[in-house]
Structure 1
Amino acid sequence: MVTDLSAAAHAVDASQVMRLLPGRPRLLALGEPTHGEEALLDLRNTLFRQLVEQEGYRTIAVESDCVRGLAVDDYVASGTGTLDAAMERGFSHGWGTSAANRELVRWMRAYNVRAEDEGRPASERLRFAGFDGPLEITHAESPRHSLTALHRYLSSLVDADLLPCTADTLDRLLGLDDQWTEPAAMTDPARSVGQSAEAGRLRLLADDLVALLDAQTPHLITATSRDEWDRARLYGRTATGLLGYHRWMADTSHARMARLMGLRDGMMARNLLALAERGPTLVHAHNGHLQRRRSSMRMAGLPLEWWSAGAIVSARLGMRYAFLATALGTLRHRGVDVPPPDTLEGLLHTLPESHCLLDAARLADALADARPAPRVSPWFGYAPLDADHLPDTDGVVFVRDVPRASTHAP
């Protein structure tokens, strides 16, 4: 087993990241192997600030509800609302309580205020985006908000005869939101309304509304703005994605869970591709969503496989997508102690730096004759880095020891 990789270890900074890549990618993604660790988010913040200031990235996208994220973007871009409101309303999964996430949003707004004071054009100001669907572990959201927002946008700008339905028709078909967000539907397909006659009709209407949005693009951008049109497209992607997700929540086949996993990553991928159209974007999410390989897990004894968002985006963008995976040594407050020496993390743990950046291709070559053993985590919330993924990874950020820290903002 190779033990000396000190020459391959570099500082985790923007200049070293760019040296790993053939050029500036449109989407530069940084993964994490676990969620909610402030030390990892602080490292993300530092690196992303450098990439904004030195490499011209102008959007930061995180693994959070894409619709809720609009509230954060409004605050960051134009100062709408307050920081407290943006953190409370703009994140899913409870991540608005993170001190590091709060600091990221605060810094982004401060950067834009400075740009406004200096008279820099809007194109140089920062934007924020969530790129996950409105999905939680316990439920998926109702499609009401996105579907009615799309209908409202179109109805104010195109002839009524072109619309496939009225707002009252949508409201009647949607019914009560509680039936869509029923937690029991995650484990019991019979509790889902996703294959009801009303849901089927809504899927057709959502497709018609999205088609109308596409067909009217020249008029809509001129009549409103590209930003408003982009937001309407987001509503369309979210509405169709949620309706498809609910449809599969009601499915009773063995493909149900794998299909749901794939649909979520597919929603993420479509949001990322839309952000790439807008401009250079920094992305942060779990390694499993950003990797170029198929994702896999076991649930209720069944093996599940699906294509990750990173795999889908990479297939579309090629070298315009780059992925840095994060690996870690210890996470002692979660029961993850010093890694065994014959694992990838065990090898990296011999490096003296508290954190460092490694060229994944060089690391893979160094390990070619000594295949590391897979690391097994005693805690379900941490996923060790698979050495087999190194050839499809652009770089590895290694954090030697992750300290316990409060995950709540002051």
Structure 2
Amino acid sequence: MDIPVDSSLISLANYLTARREAILNNWLTVCQAEPGFNTTRGLSREEFNNKVPFMLNVLDQRLRQVPLQGDIRLLAGEHGLHRWQKGYLLRELMGEIRHLNTILLAELRQFWQASPAPDAERVMSSYEYVSWFSAQSNQGSVEQYTELQRSDASSRVQLLEQALDDLNELTRQRGDLLRTASHDLRGSFGVIQGAASYLNLMEASESDRKEMLEMLNRNLTTVREMVIQLMDLSRLEAGQEPVTIQTFDASQHLNKLVDSYQPLAIERGLVLKADGPSDLQVQSDPLQLQRIVQNLVLNALKNTSSGWVSVSWAAEGDYRWLISIQDSGPGLPNQQVGSLSQVLAPSPESSSAFGLPNPEADAREEAITLASKQGEGIGLSIVKRLCELLGASLEIEAKAGQGTLFRIRMPINWKA
């Protein structure tokens, strides 16, 4: 559209410039009064105006037939992005643009009504300019909003698909764990049944009966511990494990725990040592912390035939502290070091105690299977769940023939 410049269009531009503040105020007032425009009420005057004053500048330049210093469609797109970020619904965005155009048309009508004998052609030209402004502002803002909406929907689909994949993977891992536990329980019950049957034999010697009784007791203890672990795991997975947060001295708490395990270490011929600062005030659940450390320390004592088990702790900056349980046991082959649900691998910022790179994802399942075969799968699952309950991360490093290290990073101040 290429219309010659005339004084009436320049007069219209001057009028709209003089009425700019009133136009913006009226626009804000009518939008705030619109039912369902809840987002508008939470914006400041500057936030509400956003790119509209710049869009009106371009309309002014068009009326004056001077080079344009902006693109209304692009400015409207930025306006639509702003409204998206502020949480506008599409109907709110379209409604406020509609109100702005209605106000401009009303101003146009008032200008021509006050003009002496307006020329019909010039009146028509001015309405064409405002119509152009309306079309550009609607197209730019709605296109941008719609594109953002489409992109957001696509992202949500991807997140849902990823969540579904993760859920399927967790279900598969849980199934593997329960199958292993069921196999172990069946094996223990088989031993118990066999031992009990043997005791009924009249010709069994006293020494044989004693051996069978010992086997019976061992397997009954194993079954009891496994059933308790399965119940603990089920309670954790159901979110029914209570958390009692309090401030306590973690150093004193851990020293007492390690002291309580010394008789078992001596019985196993192992050196159990505790290292850490004399005072470390933290906010957490001491009982759940005890369960985590107990699972890992007892597991280390059980699987280490000779050498030592080390429990150490330290503050890590102002916000985190860590506990490490390391042993000189058989460890795991490098290619089998893995994690439960991809949590036990060293995090990128952690330094590997064994100088080994982070384990590859495709080797993790082998480590899970190996741990389960050794009867550790349920215990490690419980530890992982307890760490999640306390907002902690759990990492594992291991090297064949050199031992295994579990590292727990916990917040100093617990947050729900």
TM-score, normalising length: structure 1: 0.22
Bigger share in helix: 2
Q: Which has the higher contact order (CA 8 A, sep 6+)?
A: 1
TM-score, normalising length: structure 2: 0.22
